């Protein structure tokens, strides 16, 4: 919300109007004005002091009257808390992931692998249903490509911006890996990005152009107890650990921010130029928003409320 406020002001919104929208208006909407939303007797002393309303960089932050941050530095100690093991060991894989787990054989109906039967070795094409990322939007496009199998297997195609996407079941350790194809990330190298932040079921999502890199990313994430990781040319170049349910960190905000930046930098190093690729990635398994999504049961056509094959003979 801090970033949203600054962005709104940069776009020309009057600073006082923007601040009003984020303070008293919000408090009134949720019925919290008896406690917060204004500077008045009886309210919590949640205050932010800034020198320049247009730039809105917090110089002093108070929460319930206590100074918690000053000039960008955290000033208080966080209470220690012992989290239960079921919360911190939430990435449960049946075994280590292998490159073969991320194969897409052709033709490949949902949930079943069959031998390649289209023409001779490496000949013929099949129709692929591909998740199309739309920049800065939650919906996706249902794209179709004609793809050519190589030795009966569909590979990523960086020239046409087609990457592989995998949903790895991570709650019960079933060993399930659902495969699909996605377009829009613009990856230009052998890379993979894995995340356990994958609304709403929060299985592990792995997107990549190289099966070996996808395996490295998934296994690295499992060892970390969840979070996000970027692998390029077989090497981890970005990582943020989110050990609480694979969604939240046990570390301070400034530490997490620095680690999260390595993920965004990793996207860019892989060739991605999307404005907010992290958000796009986290929504690809959200099977309530059209048009195509991936789930632990297969590829979902949300507009038709049914599972469809990734590849059609």
- Co-location of 146 and 220 in the same domain: yes
- Co-location of 22 and 167 in the same domain: no
Residue 135, classified by CB atoms within 10 Å of its CB into exposed (0-12), middle (13-18) or buried (19+), is: exposed
Report pLDDT digits (tens) over 64-121: 999 999 998 889 888 888 999 999 999 999 999 999 999 999 874 433 444 434 333 4
- Co-location of 187 and 48 in the same domain: no
Beta bridge partners of 182: 131, 163
User: CA of 270: how far to CAs of 62, 118, 181, 186, 236, in Å?
Assistant: 40, 33, 17, 8, 12
- Co-location of 52 and 99 in the same domain: no
- What DSSP element (H or E) covers 220? helix 211-224
For residue 81, tell me if it sits in a domain: no
> Domain span at residue 245?
86-312
For residue 79, tell me if it sits in a domain: no
How far apart are alpha carbons 292 and 313 in whole angstroms? 19
Mean pLDDT is lowest, of 109-118, 125-134, 175-184, for 109-118
For residue 184, tell me if it sits in a domain: yes
Residue with the bigger pLDDT between 151 and 174: it is 174
Evaluate whether 191 touches 231 at the Cβ level (below 8 Å). Answer: yes
pTM as predicted: 0.82
User: What is the number of structural domains in the chain?
Assistant: 2
Percentage of the chain lying above the pLDDT 90 cut: 79
Average pLDDT over residues 26-45: 89
Residue with the bigger pLDDT between 149 and 111: it is 149
User: CA of 207: how far to CAs of 99, 154, 203, 267, 285, in Å?
Assistant: 13, 15, 13, 11, 12
Q: pLDDT value at position 3?
A: 85
Average pLDDT over residues 119-134: 78
Q: pLDDT value at position 152?
A: 86
Give buried/exposed letters for 103-112 (b at 16+ CB in 10 A, else e): bbbbbbebee
Residue at a domain's end among 74, 105, 138: 74
3 state SS of 258: helix
Q: pLDDT value at position 254?
A: 84
For residue 293, tell me if it sits in a domain: yes
- Co-location of 45 and 152 in the same domain: no
C-alpha atoms less than 13 angstroms from C-alpha of 11 in its C-beta half-sphere:
9
- Co-location of 44 and 171 in the same domain: no
| 16 has a pLDDT exceeding 60 | yes
Instruction: Specify the pairing of strand 66-70 against strand 58-63.
Output: antiparallel
Q: pLDDT value at position 113?
A: 43
For residue 124, tell me if it sits in a domain: yes
CA 134 to chain centre: 14
151, two tokens: 């030795």
Mean pLDDT over the full length of the chain: 91
C-alpha atoms less than 13 angstroms from C-alpha of 166 in its C-beta half-sphere:
30
For residue 47, tell me if it sits in a domain: yes
Q: pLDDT value at position 181?
A: 98
Q: pLDDT value at position 123?
A: 52
For residue 27, tell me if it sits in a domain: yes
Beta bridge partners of 162: 157, 183
Q: Does the CA dihedral 259-265-269-272 come out positive or negative? A: positive
Residue with tokens 């406690």: 35
- Co-location of 127 and 250 in the same domain: yes
Instruction: Specify the pairing of strand 306-308 against strand 311-312.
Output: unpaired
For residue 239, tell me if it sits in a domain: yes
Residue with the bigger pLDDT between 13 and 72: it is 13
User: CA of 221: how far to CAs of 92, 120, 226, 231, in Å?
Assistant: 11, 39, 5, 11
Residue at a domain's end among 74, 108, 133: 74
Average pLDDT over residues 39-68: 92
Determine how many CB atoms are found less than 10 A away from the CB of residue 273.
11
Residue at a domain's end among 54, 74, 94: 74
């Amino acid at each position: 919300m801090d970033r949203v406020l600054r962005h709104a002001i940069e776009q020309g919104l009057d600073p006082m109007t923007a601040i009003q929208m984020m303070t008293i208006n919000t408090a009134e909407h949720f019925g919290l004005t008896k406690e917060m939303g204004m500077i008045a007797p009886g309210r919590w002393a949640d205050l932010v002091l800034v020198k320049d309303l247009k730039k809105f960089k917090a110089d002093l932050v108070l929460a319930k009257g206590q100074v918690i941050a000053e000039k960008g530095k955290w000033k208080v100690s966080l209470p220690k808390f012992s989290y239960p093991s079921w919360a911190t060991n939430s990435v449960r894989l049946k075994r280590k992931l292998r490159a073969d787990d991320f194969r897409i054989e052709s033709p490949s109906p949902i949930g079943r692998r069959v031998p390649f039967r289209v023409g001779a070795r490496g000949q013929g094409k099949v129709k692929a249903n591909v998740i199309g990322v739309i920049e800065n939007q939650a919906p996706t496009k249902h794209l179709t490509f004609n793809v050519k199998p190589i030795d009966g297997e569909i590979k990523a195609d960086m020239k046409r911006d087609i990457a592989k996407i995998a949903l790895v079941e991570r709650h019960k350790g079933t060993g399930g890996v659902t495969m699909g194809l996605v377009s829009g990330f613009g990856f230009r190298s052998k890379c993979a990005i894995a995340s356990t932040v994958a609304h709403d079921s929060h299985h592990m999502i792995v997107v990549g152009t190289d099966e070996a890199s996808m395996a490295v990313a998934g296994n690295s994430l499992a060892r970390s107890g969840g979070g996000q990781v970027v692998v390029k040319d077989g090497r981890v170049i970005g990582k943020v650990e989110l050990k609480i349910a694979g969604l939240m960190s046990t570390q301070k905000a400034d530490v997490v921010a620095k680690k999260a930046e390595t993920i965004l930098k990793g996207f860019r190093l892989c060739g991605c130029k999307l404005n907010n690729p992290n958000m796009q990635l986290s929504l690809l398994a959200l099977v309530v928003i059209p048009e195509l999504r991936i789930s632990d049961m297969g590829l979902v056509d949300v507009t038709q409320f049914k599972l469809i094959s990734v590849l059609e003979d």
